[in-house]
Every structure is written in structure tokens, then in C-alpha cells.
Amino acid sequence: MSASDIRRRDLLRLPIAAALASAASAEDVGVGPLYAPPDPAFHRVTLEVSLKPFRAHDEDSIRAVCEQIFRSWAPLLRRTKSIAVMLWSADGSEILEYRGRIDDAFDWARYLGDANPPKTPPADDPERKGAHGRNWLYMDNPPQVTYGTLRRIVAALKQVGSEVTGKPVVVGATFDPGGEFAQSTFKFVRHAEIATGGTRGPNTWVNCTAKLKADPRPYAAFPQGIPEGTSFGAFLGGQSQRFLTDLGFDYIWFSNGLGFSLSPWNATGPLFDGKSFDARRAPEVRDAILSFWRDFRSQCKSFPIETRGSNLTVGADLSASASPVREIYRSGFHVIAPPNSPWAALDGDFGLEIVGYLSRISELPPENIYPFRFYTHDPWWMNSPWLDRYGREPHDIYLPLSLARVNGDATITRPAYLEFLTIDNSFGRMPEKVPNEVIPHILLAMDDYSDAPGAVTWIYPFDEYHDMTFGPAPRLNEVFFGDWFLRGAVNNGFPLNTVVSTRQFAASYRANPSYYDATILLAYAPVAAGDLERLLIEALNRGQNVMLYGPLDHAGPVLRRLLHFRQGAPLSGELTVETSLPLDRIEHGEIPKRIHHRGLISAGPIDAIPPASTSDVRVLATASDGQATRVIALSRRNATGAGSGTLAWVRGSFCCSIGAGRLPLPDDPRQYFQGEALMRMALSEFGYSIHFSKPAPETRSPLVLMARHKNGYFLSCYSPSTTASVDLRFPQGAPILVGAETWFENGHSRYTPPRAWHKEVRCLVDQVEASEISCVEAISEFPFIERRLALNGLKNATVHFFPENDRRVIMEQGDLHYYNQTSLPYERADSGKRLIAKGITGRLTISW
């Protein structure tokens, strides 16, 4: 018996109080000091708020609102190093109009509905009864706001915030290119030449590359008026420098894609009209956007810039809108990367949110900071997403906070900032039930945040996409397809939660190749050449698993040879799919076999000829026009020789149409096979099996993300239809969720998830017989036991346990109310990261 076991035995013989007193340290008995300050979850928390809560502007009233703000969010603010308040005062016109006179009033965001409704009534609301065709004041006789009022509010937020929390508080101002929030004579009347964008209809959006007409009116930074041809960037920069300085602000926020894209909400743009790609304008648009940043920075040198970014992905913005994200990040503009888009709350497209978020954090500006943003209230459009759109379900917390960004030193970069849009609702109320309900989920998600790559690690072609857009041989269709295809894959249940840029992957892999041993490397085939191909081959040689997606035409020669790739006559249009992969179960109806492959938006036609029958490559799926057959999925185990990893490839079809809407429209699943689902199905080649049972083909599939934390798996799920169930198997067995029951059959565990799901997995089970198995958190019972898990329902099972630390693990069968000094025998695998107990029937209790 070891010394520590003897110590625990002796402690067991004492009464609890005496055992605690006798313990050499708190660590011996699994308890800490009576109080220890909690570890910070974030470097900074940003509370976004409009001016609506400030219904009276005397000093006491302003202070009372500030106190409510910081006290309502106090449990969260304990877990941050600093605090920011971002004020939605108007729509940014208060900056444009500022004349340096502190007593001037400005039109502030005091509206419900559209502050600048369209001149022509919406087609679906000709009588302007709805919020998108008109507006209301949020209260009777709202108070006037002057620049002096705003300065006093900014000062009060800093003072009161510091007094209440004991932490530094900064305050940010906002600029929005649209006209939703406040009435703007500057944008839409006096200088309508800058509002040429059509994001919300014709001439409704400020174009950041615009030039202003001459204007004799004095402005704070232009006391002699605006000279003809002044760039919008220079004017906004000069005005911002004066406005932010005079009123006490600390930074500025560029909202709704300002500075990133001329069409930040749309899949189409200057380079793609939905019918063809044209790269000729790419350098021109890129240079014009960058001139906005340079001009702004030439006039506003000292204030940090934080950004919203677009609603899309880096690849989507590049291929359609020439958005130079790389240059914005790396040109010394002192900018913070954009957070996740809030649009998933509106349209339910969480695949787009996840893929977009991963794409733009794969690389970061020099500060190495990126935010997570959560949509609690909307201060204008009379909805509070936490209460209505989300239905108080935390899926849009756990999904984006299950992501992992890998840096070049083989470490995970966590989100540094947490931002809330907003803490007040459309009527200026700040209901405390929202922070009370939201905060625990956010803190739990951060306590469980990834510390290692998840099941799949996406090697994101950040630099390659920019080169393929602006280089001498542009391939916009491949840039467009790569991200949009994976958006559909995630929406069809592909568990993508980890990203590393190609540049960061090369550095991290060379520094520590074993860092990626437990993940599948996912690479875009059109860029898998040169140095990336060499690294992927090296990974395969080490036993690493690699998955490719996209056309193989530009892939490296070794990868093409390993997959026996040969080109034949191209196929496009409506094709018939055949697959050997197990499909989802449909209770009423069946999965269609027709697929619509659109070469324009799917990086070209399908052209891979099936390999010869003697090939060691396994054909997983084909598509045929009735005459010719082409391969759309392959795999090869021991790809580079005995003991090497598995290589799989999915060609991919972007199964959507480009219409008049902002986003591509998915094909009707009752009529067409969802080609993006092949990504999830092909994971079975690596031992990961994720299959759904749904009432009908059109029932939306759950999203399932698999993060790693403290050597365990953490599954976060969004189930848009709670009628769907999911069958799961990992390489070593079926995952048994802590705190849940499952029906185990055919090697899989089956769950019917609720709308939102966040569950820990420490045990994988494999057995021949079917049974109901549960895993519950058991009481520790003894002062020297940190945690216990109890599995029930096992039938001659093999149990794989993933310990969370290096404490001694005891596995035992029988009553929980006693403690054996000797454990059931178990094996160690993966350098002790996996423990294996065999032949277990009934209950197994695991203590550590």
C-alpha cells in the first residue's frame, strides 16, 4: 500500500472533523480554503446598453441606473479582470453631427421599430402597421439628450462601476452604417452620397469607401466645413477623435460590418452576383476598403477599434465582397477581431455562426484577443432573444463557447472578452431574471472551456483564401465553396469545434506533433499542397487521421495518388447518390437519392473516376447521371503503410440555391439528398458514428459539437426539433453522458436531446448485449475522494474511463457507502489518459 493510501485509510478511521483537522493539507481531503477568489473567466466583460434606462438626467437618477447595471451583473463581474460599458446612444450620427458644442442636442435611439423607415412601405406591410415600416417612441415625452448629458453618463458609469465592483471600467461609443436606431439627417438627407449601400434596401447603408460632398457647416474636427471629396474614413476618424476625447469615451465600436464588407449581410456582392464570379474588381474593392481604415487612423490615432464584422465567414466575404480581413488584422490598425454573429438568434442558422466564428478567429490581430457576444435583449426591435427567440435555452451559449482556437505554440486561445447585446430591452427595462438565468450557463461553459483540440480540427486556409482572391490566378469559386459547404455540414450534425490556420498549424505541428494525436485533421483539398501536404503526409505516417473535403484538382500529388484520383468527364446538375455509409433513420418517408450539384457554387463539377477494383481505397459514395458514375467520397485505412492513419475524402456539394434572399436557400430535403451530411456520415471511417432518427426528411438535424476539457469530452448540442434522437459511438465505445440514461444497442448510445444540451463524458462503453445504461454523479462520501461516477446497467461491458487529473482512480462494484482500498483491475492506455476495465456487469463506481 502506498503512503498516500495509508494516509487515506487512517483518515477513514477518524470522525470527519478530526480527519479534516488531521489532514496535512486541504488538498489531501479534497477541500480548499473557506474562501478563495474565483479565477477570472474573461479578461473583460462588456455590458452594452442604450440610453433608454436613463429616463431622468439628474445626478441621482443617473447614478441609480448605473448602480443597477453593475449590481445586476455582479456575480459575473466577479469573474473578470475589467469591465466595459458600450453605449448605443444613437446610430453614430451623433459622432458625424458633433460640432464641439457640449450643449447641442442630438437625436438619440429613443425609438421602437425602424427609426428611418423605408420611403416605400414594405411589400408585406403596405399600411405600415409593423415595426419595419414605422416607429414609435419608447415612452411618452422622452427626455432630450445633449452631448453634455452623454458626457455625464459616461463619467458616472466609470465612477459608479469602479465603486461597486472595485475594477476598472472603460466606456465605448458605437457607429452603425445603417439607419435602424436613430433618425439621421446627415446620412440620408444632407450627405446621402455616403449611403449608397443596399443592405436594407436602396440607399440605406453607409459605404465606408464613399467621398463626401462639400459642406460649409462647421464640425468639431472640420471647423471650416467639409472640403469636397473628403473621404468618409477621414471625416469619421476626425470626428471620432474629437467626440471620444471630449465626452470621455475610451474606444469605438464599428457595427454591422463597417470596414469589412460593402454587403455585410449578403452572400452576393461586388465579385459575385449569384450567377458568376468576377475577380477583376477584387484589388480595387480591397484597396478602397483599406483606404477607409488608413484614412480613419490618420485622423483618429489614439483610440482602440472594436468590431462586429459581417454576418458571414471569411471565405464568403472574400469571394463575394473582396473583404481584406488579413490586411485589416495585420496592418497596425489597432483593431480587435469580430465576435460571433448574433444573427443565428434571428434565423436559426447556427452552422453559419459556428463556421463564421471559427474562420475569423483562426488568425487574430497582434493583440491576440477575440470576443464572445451573446444576444440577451434588442433595444429597438421589441424582442429579447434570451426570453423569446431562445426560449431561455442556452444553446447559443454552449455552442460557440465549445469552440477551440489553436495557436502556433500548440495552446488554446480562449475568448478574452464577453459582450452582451444588450442588457436593456426595447423599453429601457433591465429585468434581473435575465442575468440571473444567463450568468450560470456562461460561467459553466467557461469552466468547461476547451483545453485541447476536439474530435475534428479544421486547418483553415486563411492566407490561402486571400491569395486565391487577390493573387494572379484567382479561384473565387473554391474560396466561396469551402466555407459555405462546411456551414451546411455543421447544420447537418458535423462536430466541428476546433480551428487552426494553416500558418499556425505548421508552427504548432512542428513544435509538438503529438498535440494533434487525438483529433482528426480536416483540410480543404484545393489548398492541400506544398508544405501543408508534407505535414499531412507526416501526420498520416505517425498514425494521425486526416480528412479532406472539396475538389482534388489542385490537391498535392501525393494525396491524389494515395486516393487513386483520376479525372473523367465532369458531371453537374441533378444526379443520383449511392452510398455504403449508414444513413439516418426516417420514420415517415425516406431520404431522397437525388442530389443537385451546382458547379458554379460547388467549386466546379464532379470529376473523380472510381478507382480500379484492385485498389485499397474504399468507395463510400458515388453520384451518377444514369450514364457515368463519379466518386464523391473515399477512404483509405493505413493510408501510407502499416500502422499509419486513415485518409478520407468527401467531394462535397453545396446543396443550396442563390436567390433574392440574403442567404443561400437549402434544397428541399423532401426532394433532394443533403450532400453536406456526408461529412458527418464519413466520420464512421475514423470510429466516430453520429446518426439521427427523425420523423421526416425535413426534420432539422441536431448540431453536435465535441469539445475536450481535462481529458474528457464535453458535448454541446442544439436540437431545432426535439423529436429527433441521436445515436453515438466514439472510437473506443459509446459515450455515456454524465447525468443521463441511454439505451445501448448495436454499439451505440441513443439520446433524445432537449433544445439545448451540455454534458460531460468520462466513460465510453462497449458490450454485446443491449441494455439501459446510466451514468450519474455520486456523492463522494469520504473526505479524501474528490469525485465519484456511478454507471448502472452494464452487461459484461468494457468501460473506457478518461480521468480528469492524476489522482488515484478506484473502480469498484457494489454499495457506494463503503470504500475499498484496492480497485478492480484495469489497464492503462494512451499514456494513462485512458483506463480500461473489462467484464463489468451491473454497477461500476469510479472514484478519484
- Helix H, strand E, coil C: the string for 725-753 is EEEEEECCEEEEECCEEEEEECCEEEECC
pLDDT digits (tens, 9 = 90+) for 63-87: 999 999 999 999 999 999 999 999 9
Is pLDDT at 10 greater than 60 in this prediction?
Answer: no
Q: HEC states along 559-626?
A: HHHHCCCCEEEEECEEEEEEECCCCCEECCCCCCCEEEECCCCCCCCEEECCCCCCCCCEEEEEEECC
Nearest alpha carbon to residue 383 among 349, 427, 331: 427
pLDDT at 12: 35
The fold of the 456-699 domain, in CATH, is Rossmann fold (3.40.50)
Q: How far apart are CA 476 and CA 478, in angstroms?
A: 5
Query: CA angle at residue 315 from 313 to 320, to 5 degrees?
Result: 100
263-267, 336-340, 378-382, 456-460: lowest mean pLDDT where? 263-267
pLDDT at 744: 98
Q: Which amino acid is at 140?
A: D
> Domain residues of the chain, as ranges?
42-397+415-428, 456-699, 708-847
Q: How far apart are CA 483 and CA 503, in angstroms?
A: 18
42-397+415-428 under CATH 3.40.720, yes or no: no
- Within a 10 A sphere around the Cβ of 261, how many other Cβ atoms? 30
- Band of pLDDT at residue 723, cut at 50, 70 and 90: very high
Nearest alpha carbon to residue 483 among 470, 473, 471, 469: 469
Is pLDDT at 31 greater than 70 in this prediction?
Answer: no
Taken in order 382, 388, 393, 395, the sign of the CA dihedral is negative
- Band of pLDDT at residue 253, cut at 50, 70 and 90: very high
Residue 126's contacts (CB-CB under 8 Å, 6 or more residues apart) are: none
Taken in order 637, 641, 644, 647, the sign of the CA dihedral is negative
Q: Please give the share of the chain, as a percent, with pLDDT higher than 90.
A: 90
In this structure, what C-alpha cell is assigned to residue 347?
Answer: 434565423
pLDDT digits (tens, 9 = 90+) for 780-816: 888 899 999 999 999 999 999 999 999 999 999 976 6
pLDDT at 34: 59
Average pLDDT over residues 740-756: 98
Query: What is the H or E stretch that residue 847 is in?
Result: strand 834-847
pTM of this structure: 0.94
Residue 321's contacts (CB-CB under 8 Å, 6 or more residues apart) are: 261, 262, 263, 264, 269, 270, 271, 285, 310
Look at phi and psi of residue 225 and say left if phi exceeds 0, alpha if psi is from -120 to 50, else beta: left
Query: What is the H or E stretch that residue 61 is in?
Result: helix 59-72
Is pLDDT at 28 greater than 90 in this prediction?
Answer: no
pLDDT at 816: 64
Q: How far apart are CA 185 and CA 96, in angstroms?
A: 10
pLDDT at 817: 64
- Band of pLDDT at residue 266, cut at 50, 70 and 90: very high
Average pLDDT over residues 716-744: 98
pLDDT digits (tens, 9 = 90+) for 636-671: 999 999 999 999 999 999 999 998 888 999 999 999
- Within a 10 A sphere around the Cβ of 9, how many other Cβ atoms? 13
Phi and psi at 692, nearest 5°, equal: -110, 150
Q: How far apart are CA 724 and CA 702, in angstroms?
A: 7
Average pLDDT over residues 480-485: 98
Judge whether 42-397+415-428 and 456-699 match in fold.
no
Q: How far apart are CA 595 and CA 597, in angstroms?
A: 6
Q: How far apart are CA 138 and CA 379, in angstroms?
A: 10
Is pLDDT at 2 greater than 90 in this prediction?
Answer: no
pLDDT at 203: 87
SS3 content of the chain, % helix, strand, coil (to 5): 25, 25, 45
pLDDT digits (tens, 9 = 90+) for 566-593: 999 999 999 999 999 999 999 999 999 9
Is pLDDT at 3 greater than 60 in this prediction?
Answer: no
pLDDT at 263: 86
The SS3 of residue 413 is strand
Is pLDDT at 415 greater than 80 in this prediction?
Answer: yes
Q: How far apart are CA 837 and CA 839, in angstroms?
A: 7
pLDDT digits (tens, 9 = 90+) for 106-147: 999 999 999 999 888 988 999 999 999 999 999 999 999 999
Q: Which residues pair with 459 in a beta bridge?
A: 500, 523
Q: Cell 431522397 appears where?
A: 592
pLDDT digits (tens, 9 = 90+) for 166-191: 999 999 999 999 999 999 999 999 99
Q: Please give the share of the chain, as a percent, with pLDDT higher than 70.
A: 95
pLDDT at 35: 64
